[in-house]
Amino acid sequence: MTSLSLRAGRLAVELAPQAGGSIARFRHDDIDLMRPMTEEAMASGRGNDAACYPLVPFSNRIANGRLVFDGQEFSLEQNWPGVRHPMHGEGWARAWDVAHRDGHSAELVHEHDGKKGWPFRYRAQLSFRLDEVGLSVNMAIENLERRSAPAGMGLHPFFTRDADSELKFRAAGVWLGNEEVLPTRRVAVPAEWDYSRSRRVEPGLDNCFEDWDGRASITWLGRGLGLELEASAPFRHAVVYTPANRPYFCVEPVSHVNGKVAESRLAPGARLAGDVTFRVSTL
């Protein structure tokens, strides 16, 4: 299976279960709202070049692969080209099983045995539903261990970026980072990073915003389109990535601060779940 298609009204979504359970394409008519995934990327079995991929069982980087949990230290292997810190979990690099599909919805499941890439067993689930207004994604992770385990999750969408693209979101604080994008300290959001009012997307951010209210608005003025992102608890952090000279930017709803998944504990058999919706409108 190369992709799985969902359609509703003027919206279309293509999923790539075999490439990290990722979204390969999200369109309004013939306009891409997220960067489209190439056929080559879908065939790779990895979702890191997708329109959107899941972050499971952790978001962002774990410094030097050193994970300390309940007094025990685990050494994680590098998993990302050119980055020495394990990054974005391991679900994006695995094939997901299709548990359900129809023309408007799909459910994908990935079960990890704890033997390679992450030392704890878990089951992750992604449920997609498309209607004429937008795309809803329910995400969950279940601890399959007989003891508590660290567990986090998130989504990593790459929104298309034009010269006049605007972004709006509110957060109380933000983590500064070093040259390797590892968090150093939390500060109040500085004026130059304040998107509490809609403004053009400026390059230079790769930071985790904290105490986020779970909402973000994106406007493509030249395309006459808008998108409202809304994330439920536990997604109360947002990683915002605005690279220079790239045709995309990212607003990533995540469940924990970068590098701090060890502080997110799931009891044996417990489940962490939340919803992210992408509502599309014409201006």
Q: Which pLDDT value is given to residue 259?
A: 93
Question: Is 214 buried (19+), middle (13-18) or exposed (0-12) by CB count in 10 A?
Answer: buried
Structure tokens at 153: 């999750």
Instruction: Please report where in the chains the tokens 């951010």 appear, as a residue.
Output: 205
| Residue pLDDT, tens place only, 38-69 | 999 999 999 999 999 999 999 999 999 999 99
Q: Which pLDDT value is given to residue 143?
A: 98
Report the C-alpha gap between 213 and 160 in whole angstroms: 23
Structure tokens at 144: 């399959």
Q: Residue 231's CB: how many other CB atoms inside 10 A? A: 27
Report the CATH fold assignment for 4-282.
Answer: Beta-galactosidase; Chain A, domain 5 (2.70.98)
First to last CA, the chain: 36
- Give the SS3 label for residue 178: coil
| Residue pLDDT, tens place only, 223-267 | 999 999 999 999 999 999 999 999 999 999 999 999 999 999 999
| Residue pLDDT, tens place only, 61-117 | 999 999 999 999 999 999 988 899 999 999 999 999 999 999 999 999 999 999 888
Q: Which pLDDT value is given to residue 2?
A: 65
CB 143 within 8 A of CB 150: no
Q: Which residues pair with 29 in a beta bridge?
A: none
Q: Say which DSSP state 131 is in.
A: -
Cis status of the peptide bond prior to 57, with omega within 30 of 0? yes
Give the residue from 81, 59, 231 showing the smallest Cα distance to 156: 59
- Give the SS3 label for residue 63: helix
CB 155 within 8 A of CB 34: no
Instruction: Please report where in the chains the tokens 């261990």 appear, as a residue.
Output: 145
- CA count, 13 A, side-chain hemisphere, 89: 32
The answer to whether residue 206 scores a pLDDT higher than 60 is yes
pTM for this entry: 0.97
The phi and psi torsions of 27 (rounded to 5 degrees) equal -130, 150
